[in-house]
Amino acid sequence: PLPGSLILKVQDAVKQFGGLKAVSDVSFDVKAGEIVGLIGPNGAGKSTMFNLVTGVNPATRGNVTLLGRDATRLPARTIHRLGVARTFQHVRLFPELSLLENAMMGGYARGKAGIVASLLHLERREEAALQGAALKQLERVGLRDRAFDQAGNLALGQQRLLEIARALTADPAFLLLDEPAAGLRYGEKAELSALLRRLRDEGVTVLIVEHDMDLVMNLVDRLVVMNGGQELAQGNPQQVRDNPAVREAYLGV
C-alpha cells in the first residue's frame, strides 16, 4: 500500500451483546505507515473492536473497510489472507509445540488450505520456505536461539513476543496487537517499541491496544480513545494528553 493510503476505515461501528453495546457508533481510520494506538479503560470495547475488524466477531452495524475492500462481513481467514494479522490479549499458543512450529502456524493460515490440511499435505519445498520465514521472524523478536524449545516453557512476556513472530510470519501489511506489553519487563518493553518502529519503517502499519501509557505515548503517531464503547477522543499524543475529557475519564486526573 502507498504511504498515506487507507489501510483501515471503521464507519459507525456498533457491536451489541444482548442489551450491552460494547462498541457504540465508533469511526476512525488507519493510514499506511502509521502506528495508531487504541486506548481506554478496561471494558471500553478495544478488544471487541479488534474482533470486528479482524472478522473474529463481526459488527452488528456499521462498516469496516480493509486495504480498499469491504471487510464488514468477511470471515477471519479471508481477512488474514488480505494481509491483516493480529495477536490476542490472552495469549493463544500451542504450549506443546516448539516456538518454530508455533511461528510457522502464522504462515499456514495464509495458504489455500486450512492448518490441518496444510500440516498433512504441505510440500517439502513449501515447508522449508515456511520454516525459513518463521525463523526469520523469531530472530526479529529475539527468540531465534529458542526455536526448538517448547512454547509452554517461555515466560509470559516471551510468549507475547512469539505471538508477534507468528503474526509476522504471514508477512502482513497491517498488524493489530492487543496489549503486547502486558507481562513484559522494562527492557523487553523497550525492545518491543524498537521492533514496532522498525516494522513501521519497513512498511508495516500497526494498530496497538496498550495500557502502558509511557510506551504508547512515545511510540504512536495517533491515538483513538474509547470509553464505555464510545469514541472519546482522537488525535496525536499531545492532543490526547491535553484533552480534558480523556484526563477525566481515563487518566483520572
Among ligand ADP, Mg ion, none, partner that 17 touches (CB below 5 to 8 angstroms by kind):
ligand ADP
Partner touching 45 among Mg ion, ligand ADP, none, CB below 5 to 8 Å by kind? ligand ADP
One character per residue 123-142, x = contact with Mg ion (rule: CB under 5 A): --------------------
Q: What is the DSSP string of 34-57?
A: -EEEEE-STTSSHHHHHHHHTTSS
User: Is 37 an interacting residue with respect to ligand ADP (CB under 6 A)?
Assistant: no
Chain center to CA of 183: 16
Question: Which residue shows C-alpha cell 470509553?
Answer: 227
Among 24, 48, 102, 159, which residue sits at the site for ligand ADP (rule: CB under 6 A)?
A: 48
Binding residues for ligand ADP, rule CB under 6 A, total 11
Residue 193 in contact with Mg ion, rule: CB under 5 A:
no
Return the residue of 89, 98, 131, 234 that touches Mg ion, per CB under 5 A.
89
One residue of 42, 125, 187, 202 binding ligand ADP per CB under 6 A: 42
**43 touching ligand ADP, by CB under 6 A:** yes
Q: From the CB of 47, what's the least distance to Mg ion, in Å?
A: 3
Whether 141 and 184 have beta carbons less than 8 Å apart is answered as no
Stretches 40-48, 61-69, 109-117, 123-131: which one binds ligand ADP (CB under 6 A)?
Answer: 40-48
- Least distance CB 36 / ligand ADP (angstroms): 15
Cα–Cα nearest to 184, from 223, 154, 152, 206:
154
Q: Per the structure block, which three cell numbers stand in for 57?
A: 466477531
Distance in angstroms (rounded) separating the CA atoms of residues 225 and 233: 5
List, as one string, the DSSP characters of 196-246: HHHHHHTT-EEEEE-S-HHHHHHH-SEEEEEETTEEEEEE-HHHHHH-HHH
Query: Is 44 a residue that touches ligand ADP (CB under 6 A)?
Result: yes
Q: Using the rule CB under 6 A, which residue among 4, 17, 218, 242 binds ligand ADP?
A: 17
Contact 113, 122 (CB under 8 A): no
Q: How far apart are CA 17 and CA 39, in angstroms?
A: 21
Whether 46 and 38 have beta carbons less than 8 Å apart is answered as yes
**Which residue, 26 or 32, has its beta carbon nearer to Mg ion?**
26
Q: Which residues bind Mg ion (CB under 5 A)?
A: 46-47, 89
Q: Which residues bind ligand ADP (CB under 6 A)?
A: 17, 20, 22, 40, 42-48
